[in-house]
Amino acid sequence: MARSVRGASAAAAGRGVRFPSAPSDYRFLLPTLPSGDSMEECVFLHGDLEKRAYWLEDFRAPLEEVELIKAITGIGAFQMNHIWLVKMRSKDDKDALLKTGGLRVKSGFCAIIDPIQHDVTVKIHWVDFAVSNESIRQALGEFGEVLEVSNDNWTVAGFEHTISTTRVVRLKLKEGVVLEDLPHLFKIGGGTVLLVAPGRAPLCLRCHMQGHIRRDCQTHRCGVCRAFGHESQDCVRSYARVTKTALPTDDAQDNLMDAEEAGKLAPGSDAVGPNATVQATGEETADATARRQRLNERIRGVGCNRRPAGHSRIDGGRHGY
């Protein structure tokens, strides 16, 4: 299953690696990555999607520049043209490559992903100010040891003294637990929150399948049973479907922000309105303005298509999607 992480999330920390050099609109599109002992000396190179196609020769100069090309014992494309699996000579060589923070390949940013998960950093959006950090620790405790919970503070001029509705959580996953086990949406403090973990598949709030966000959803929806995954002519007229009541529409769910939208309206993004000037972070670029205008259009138009509601819940036990 393909999985993508977009926008400001790409610059956040995930899988133990930070990407400070990644553009704010950098997009991740990943297959399910292998992990375990066999990956101890391996990394994945994730090229800029806009620069495809990639060839082996494209990586020569960037790897020579960081003086690590001789430390590579194996390299090849992995399922997708922009994903390349690299085996290093030793763990020290792997760490040296990870410390570069990323490469410049075909004049675009190339992320370096460690498939061995250690500490991971995630963001939780839409957290009520009354929710304590301890409550978040307890909610995520079943997935691992929560090492740190902090507020994501605003840096926008005039709001530097305020906190946002986003919490940053660093945790060490339990043995056998991977990023994909973390819920996307769950209840805490009486409200629904969105957990964004860079490097793992996002949840589509339209079809509720993993691997893409609502804007990119191409999943067919049946006009007969209203289920996703097939069209009307392919609908199996089972007894359950014939007697099933139509799924209710839910305007609240339909207007729920997905991972990309939530990330753009959090600290560290261009969340200051379509025409504002950001004095605290320097002159606004035309690209940033265009991105915000597209986001505003997306938010205004999101109510045009109504979809069924549904999300995960943490109740101190198991969870589901």
- Coil/strand/helix, residue 313: coil
Does the residue 97 lie in any domain? Answer: yes
Q: Please check whether residues 98 and 124 belong to one and the same domain.
A: no
Which residues lie closer than 8 Å to 186 by C-beta, 6 or more apart?
139, 192, 193, 195, 311, 312, 313, 314, 319
Does the residue 290 lie in any domain? Answer: no
Q: Please check whether residues 168 and 190 belong to one and the same domain.
A: yes
Does the residue 316 lie in any domain? Answer: no
Q: Which of 6, 8, 7, 14 is nearest to 267 (CA)?
A: 8
- Eight-class DSSP state of 140: H
Q: Please check whether residues 185 and 127 belong to one and the same domain.
A: yes
Residue 90 one-letter amino acid: S
Q: Per the structure block, which two tokens stand in for 272?
A: 């200051």
CB 42 within 8 A of CB 107: no
What is the predicted pLDDT for the residue at 206? 76
Rounded CA gap, 24 and 92, in Å? 30
What is the predicted pLDDT for the residue at 247? 44
DSSP assignment string, 230-254: S-GGG----HHHHHPPPPPP-HHHH
Kindly report the CATH number assigned to the domain that includes residue 182. Answer: 3.30.70.330
CB 110 within 8 A of CB 104: yes
List the end-to-end C-alpha distance of the chain, in Å, as a whole number: 15
Rounded CA gap, 291 and 127, in Å? 25
CB 9 within 8 A of CB 263: yes
Structural domains in the chain (count) = 3
Rounded CA gap, 82 and 48, in Å? 7
Q: Please check whether residues 94 and 126 belong to one and the same domain.
A: no
Does the residue 297 lie in any domain? Answer: no
Rounded CA gap, 311 and 125, in Å? 15
Per-residue pLDDT tens digits of the chain, which is 321 residues long: 444 333 223 333 344 344 556 776 788 888 878 877 899 999 999 999 999 999 999 999 999 999 999 999 999 999 999 999 999 999 999 999 999 989 999 999 999 998 886 678 899 999 999 999 999 999 999 999 999 999 988 989 999 999 999 999 999 888 878 888 899 999 998 899 999 887 677 778 778 777 777 777 888 878 778 677 777 777 876 555 555 544 444 455 566 677 777 777 778 654 444 444 333 333 334 554 555 565 556 555 544 444 443 444 444 333 333
Does the residue 23 lie in any domain? Answer: yes
Supply the range of the domain harboring residue 56: 3-113
Q: What is the pLDDT of residues 285-304, one digit of tens each?
A: 455 455 556 555 655 554 44
Which residues lie closer than 8 Å to 256 by C-beta, 6 or more apart?
192, 205
* Residue-level length of the chain: 321
Q: What is the pLDDT of residues 36-53, one digit of tens each?
A: 789 999 999 999 999 999
Q: Which of 17, 4, 34, 36 is nearest to 202 (CA)?
A: 4
Q: Please check whether residues 151 and 53 belong to one and the same domain.
A: no
Q: Please check whether residues 166 and 106 belong to one and the same domain.
A: no
What is the predicted pLDDT for the residue at 270? 47
Q: Per the structure block, which two tokens stand in for 35?
A: 């992990």
- Coil/strand/helix, residue 162: coil
The residues with which 172 forms a beta bridge, in sequence order, are 119, 145
The residues with which 100 forms a beta bridge, in sequence order, are none
Does the residue 161 lie in any domain? Answer: yes
Does the residue 41 lie in any domain? Answer: yes
What is the predicted pLDDT for the residue at 150? 94
Q: Please check whether residues 7 and 84 belong to one and the same domain.
A: yes
Q: Please check whether residues 69 and 8 belong to one and the same domain.
A: yes
Does the residue 283 lie in any domain? Answer: no
Domain final residue, candidates 113, 130, 145: 113
